[in-house]
Structure 1
Amino acid sequence: MEPLDTLLAAHRAYLLGWDIGATGGPDLVTYRSGVPHASLNGVLRVSGRAPRDALAEARERLDGVPRLWWAGPDSDAGTADTLVTLGAVPLGEMPIMAVEIDRAAPAPIPAGLRIAETAELDEFVGAYSRVSGIRPEGVAATVEREKAFAGDGTVVRLAGRLDDGRVVGTAVAWLSHGLLTLFFVGTQPEHRRRGIGAAMTRAALDLAAEHGVRTAALTASAAGEPVYRRLGFRTVGTFRLLSF
């Protein structure tokens, strides 16, 4: 298993690939995509900075867009609690999960589903936006940022299609820092509880293994966590998410 610091660095690297703003130094790492969706703008790390000053600078850099503060194991201890005393709003916790790919459980591909890499961004982004809560008016901006993505690694976008061509499942496989990090794993609401999410995740694991990658990681939503646990993922850390 890769060290937690490596998992966190890969997570930062992906979100920084969306950035069109000032990322700052390692003491206050921010990313700003300009997409009107909180998870695509925010603070990734604060270290060795007075919380009040860090909060003021983050607000200045990210003014005008919805944003998140990811208070994780790579930030100063007590960051989340201190930010709350300064007016940040706690949104909940998100587990950081990982698995050694060769120990992950299998997941059958549901009948009628084909999973393959896609370059059709309009369709792909439209599908994951619906699941992720990106509003329709933000989809075009999300497509443009996907086209311009410039992260330190390789992105593979996997689409799960039915026989009629409709995209019902998505997964972004991010190959960076010697591991796989998963983003935008989702299933269209009307097709859930068929094993599509597990199949999309397993397809990404298989792809990573073909590239010699041994470890996979992700941050799990409440709905996704049970699926990942069944595949063998285990919690290795936690992000506390805040709005500010």
Structure 2
Amino acid sequence: MVALDLLLAAHRAYLLGWDVGRSASPDLVTYRSDLPHAPLNGVLRVTGHAVPDALAEARHRLDGVPRIWWVGPDSDAETAEALLTLGAVQVAQMPIMAALIDQVATTPVPAGLHLAEATDLPEFVAAYARVSGIAPDSVPAVVDREQAFAADGTVIRLAGRLDDGRIVGTATAWLSHGLLTLYFVGTQPEHRRRGIGSALTRAALDLARHRGVRTVALTASAAGEPLYHGLGFRTVASFRLLSF
């Protein structure tokens, strides 16, 4: 299994790909997309900073946008507790999960589902926006940021379609730091519990394996954690997500 520090570095690299370039410091890593969606603006790591000073600086850098603070193993100990005492609010705890690709269970592709790389970016973004809580009127701005995405790695966007062409599931495969990290894995609500998310995950794993990648990582929601445990992923750490 790849070391935890590489998993965290790959995660930082992906979210920094959304950054509009207003901040860069290794001890207080922030990213700002300017999109009205909290997970696309935030703090990724703080080290060697007094938390009150870090909070003031983060609020300055991210003023005017919804944002979250990812408090994980790459931040100083007690960061979350210090932020809570200063008025931050914990909104979620997300497990960091990983697996060796060759040890992840195989899953069948549901009948009538076709998996392929997405070529229509607005259609793809509209599909994951609906699942991720991105407002419909924000989709054009998200498309613009996706088109401008720039980071040390490769993004491959996978779509699951029905016979009529409708996208019913999405997955973004991020290849960086020698591993695969998954984002925007989601199924349209009316098509859930059919194995679409598992099939998209498997397709992303196969794509990465063909490129010589051996390890996959992701951050799971509470609903997704049992699914990934069932596929063979294990929890290696967690993020506490705080609004501030």
Q: TM-score range by the shorter chain?
A: over 0.9
Displacement after TM superposition at 1:57 (Å): 0.4
2:239 aligned partner? 239
Q: TM-score, normalised by structure 1?
A: 0.99
1:76 aligned partner? 76
Displacement after TM superposition at 1:118 (Å): 1.2
**Matched residue of 1:209: which SS?**
helix
Displacement after TM superposition at 1:138 (Å): 1.3
Matches within 5 A, 1:71-220: 71-220=71-220
Q: Which amino acid aligns with 2:128?
A: Y
1:61 aligned partner? 61
Residues 197 and 227 in structure 1, CA contact (< 8 A), matched pair in contact too? no
1:14 aligned partner? 14
Residues 158 and 172 in structure 1, CA contact (< 8 A), matched pair in contact too? yes
Counterpart-to-counterpart distance in 1, 2:10 and 2:109? 28
2:42 aligned partner? 42
Displacement after TM superposition at 1:24 (Å): 2.3
Displacement after TM superposition at 1:157 (Å): 0.2
Counterpart-to-counterpart distance in 2, 1:128 and 1:239? 22
Displacement after TM superposition at 1:230 (Å): 1.1
Q: Does 1:51 align with 2:90?
A: no
Q: Which amino acid aligns with 2:163?
A: D
Residues 88 and 242 in structure 1, CA contact (< 8 A), matched pair in contact too? yes
Counterpart-to-counterpart distance in 1, 2:144 and 2:128? 15
2:221 aligned partner? 221
Write the deviation string for residues 202-235 of structure 1: whole angstroms up to 9, x where unpaired. 1100100000000000000111111111111110
**Matched residue of 2:174: which SS?**
strand
Displacement after TM superposition at 1:41 (Å): 0.3
**Matched residue of 1:9: which SS?**
helix
Q: TM-score, normalised by structure 2?
A: 0.99
Displacement after TM superposition at 1:22 (Å): 2.3
Counterpart-to-counterpart distance in 1, 2:178 and 2:171? 19
Structure 2 gap ranges (5+): none
Write the deviation string for residues 103-144 of structure 1: whole angstroms up to 9, x where unpaired. 110011000000001121100000000000001121111100
- Over the residues paired in the alignment, what is the CA RMSD in angstroms? 0.6
Identity across aligned pairs (percent)? 74
**Matched residue of 1:212: which SS?**
coil
Q: How many residues align?
A: 244
Counterpart-to-counterpart distance in 1, 2:105 and 2:202? 8
Displacement after TM superposition at 1:21 (Å): 3.4
Displacement after TM superposition at 1:151 (Å): 1.1
Counterpart-to-counterpart distance in 1, 2:58 and 2:138? 22
Displacement after TM superposition at 1:158 (Å): 0.2
Counterpart-to-counterpart distance in 2, 1:40 and 1:175? 19
Q: Which amino acid aligns with 2:141?
A: A
Write the deviation string for residues 73-97 of structure 1: whole angstroms up to 9, x where unpaired. 0000010000000111111200000
Residues 41 and 67 in structure 1, CA contact (< 8 A), matched pair in contact too? yes
Q: Which amino acid aligns with 1:98?
A: A
1:5 aligned partner? 5
**Matched residue of 1:140: which SS?**
helix
Counterpart-to-counterpart distance in 1, 2:92 and 2:124? 28
2:25 aligned partner? 25
Counterpart-to-counterpart distance in 1, 2:191 and 2:23? 38
Residues 112 and 162 in structure 1, CA contact (< 8 A), matched pair in contact too? yes
Structure 1 gap ranges (5+): none
